[in-house]
Structure 1
Amino acid sequence: MASYEYRALNAQGKTVKGVLDGESERHLRQLLREKGLTALDIQALNKSSNSSATSGRSLFKKKLAVSEVSLFTRELYTLLEASTPLNQALKALSEQAESKTVLRFISGLHQNVNEGYGLAQALMRSDYTVPQDYIAIIQAGEESGHLTAVMSRLADNLEQRDHLNKKLKTALIYPILMIVVAVAIVFFLMVYVVPKVVTVFDNMQQELPPLTQGLLSASDFVQVYWWLIIGGVIGLWVILQIMLRIPSMRFKIHALLMRTPGIKRFLIYSATSRWARTLGVLVDSGVAVRESMVISAEVMTLAPMRKAVDEMVEKIRQGESVHSAMRQAGFFPPLLLNLVKTGEGKGQLHTMLLKGAQHYEVAVEQAAQTLVSLLEPLLIIVMGAVVLTIVLAIMLPIFEMNQMVG
Structure 2
Amino acid sequence: MERFHYFAATAANATHDGTIEAESMQDALGMLRSRGLVVIRIGKPSRLSALWAMLNRDVVLRSPLRFQELARLSQEWGGLVEAGIPIEESLALLGRASAPSTRRILLAVRDDVKAGMPLHEALGRFPGSFPPVYRALVQAGEAAGNLGSAIRRLGDDLMARRALKDDIRNALLYPLFLLVTASAGILVLMLVVVPNLETLLGEGGEERLSTVTRIVLEASRILRNHGVALLGATAVLAVSAALFLLSPKGHVRLDAVILRMPVFGPLARDIETGRFARTLGALLRGGVTLSVAMLIVLRAVANRHMRTALEEAHRSIVSGAAIGDAIAASRIFREDAIGLIRVGERTGDLAAALERTAALHEARATRQLKALGAMLTPLMTIGFGAIAGVIIYAMLSTILGINELAGR
TM-score between both structures, scaled by the size of structure 1: 0.85
Q: SS state of the match for residue 191, structure 2?
A: helix
Q: Identify if the C-alpha distance between structure 1 residues 334 and 74 changes in structure 2 by more than 3 Å, giving closer, same or farther.
A: same
Deviation, 1:219, is 1.2
Given residue 163 of structure 1, which amino acid in structure 2 is its aligned partner?
A: A
Q: Give the unaligned 5+ runs of structure 1.
A: 10-14, 32-41
Residues 100-142 of structure 1 deviation map (CA, whole Å, 9 limit, x = unaligned): 4322321221121121112101011236342211111110000
Given residue 123 of structure 1, which amino acid in structure 2 is its aligned partner?
A: L
Does the Cα contact within 8 Å between 1:277 and 1:357 map onto a contact in 2?
yes
Provide the residue aligned with 2:26 in structure 1.
18
Matches of residues 227-266 of structure 1 in structure 2 within 5 Å?
A: 227-266=228-267
Q: SS state of the match for residue 128, structure 1?
A: coil
Deviation, 1:93, is 1.4
Residues 292-340 of structure 1 deviation map (CA, whole Å, 9 limit, x = unaligned): 1111101100000111111111000111000001101101011111111
Does the Cα contact within 8 Å between 2:213 and 2:395 map onto a contact in 1?
yes
Point out the more displaced range, 110-119 or 156-165. 110-119
Provide the residue aligned with 2:393 in structure 1.
392
Deviation, 1:225, is 2.9
Deviation, 1:213, is 2.2
Residues 165-220 of structure 1 deviation map (CA, whole Å, 9 limit, x = unaligned): 11211111100000000110011001111111233322665613332222222212
Deviation, 1:391, is 1.6
> In angstroms, what is the RMSD of aligned CA positions?
3.2
- Distance in 1 between residues matched to 2:345 and 2:206, nearest whole Å: 81
Q: Identify if the C-alpha distance between structure 1 residues 127 and 328 changes in structure 2 by more than 3 Å, giving closer, same or farther.
A: closer
Q: Identify if the C-alpha distance between structure 1 residues 298 and 117 changes in structure 2 by more than 3 Å, giving closer, same or farther.
A: same
Q: Identify if the C-alpha distance between structure 1 residues 367 and 186 changes in structure 2 by more than 3 Å, giving closer, same or farther.
A: same
Point out the more displaced range, 358-367 or 230-239. 230-239
Given residue 319 of structure 1, which amino acid in structure 2 is its aligned partner?
A: G
Provide the residue aligned with 1:276 in structure 2.
277
Provide the residue aligned with 1:187 in structure 2.
187
Does the Cα contact within 8 Å between 1:58 and 1:127 map onto a contact in 2?
no
Provide the residue aligned with 1:44 in structure 2.
39
Given residue 265 of structure 1, which amino acid in structure 2 is its aligned partner?
A: P
Matches of residues 7-406 of structure 1 in structure 2 within 5 Å?
A: 18=26, 25=32, 28-29=33-34, 44-46=39-41, 63-98=64-99, 100-126=100-126, 128-202=128-202, 207=207, 208-399=209-400
Q: SS state of the match for residue 26, structure 2?
A: strand
Deviation, 1:81, is 1.9
Q: Give the unaligned 5+ runs of structure 2.
A: 1-7, 11-15, 43-51
Q: SS state of the match for residue 354, structure 1?
A: helix
Does the Cα contact within 8 Å between 1:8 and 1:17 map onto a contact in 2?
no
Q: Identify if the C-alpha distance between structure 1 residues 20 and 86 changes in structure 2 by more than 3 Å, giving closer, same or farther.
A: closer
Residues 21-74 of structure 1 deviation map (CA, whole Å, 9 limit, x = unaligned): 99x94xx3289xxxxxxxxxx882447xxxx98997599996432112111211
- Distance in 1 between residues matched to 2:114 and 2:57, nearest whole Å: 22
Q: How many residues align?
A: 382
- Distance in 2 between residues matched to 1:175 and 1:247, nearest whole Å: 30
- Distance in 1 between residues matched to 2:278 and 2:326, nearest whole Å: 18
Does the Cα contact within 8 Å between 1:2 and 1:21 map onto a contact in 2?
no
Q: Identify if the C-alpha distance between structure 1 residues 120 and 329 changes in structure 2 by more than 3 Å, giving closer, same or farther.
A: same
Does the Cα contact within 8 Å between 2:197 and 2:398 map onto a contact in 1?
no
Does the Cα contact within 8 Å between 1:109 and 1:123 map onto a contact in 2?
yes
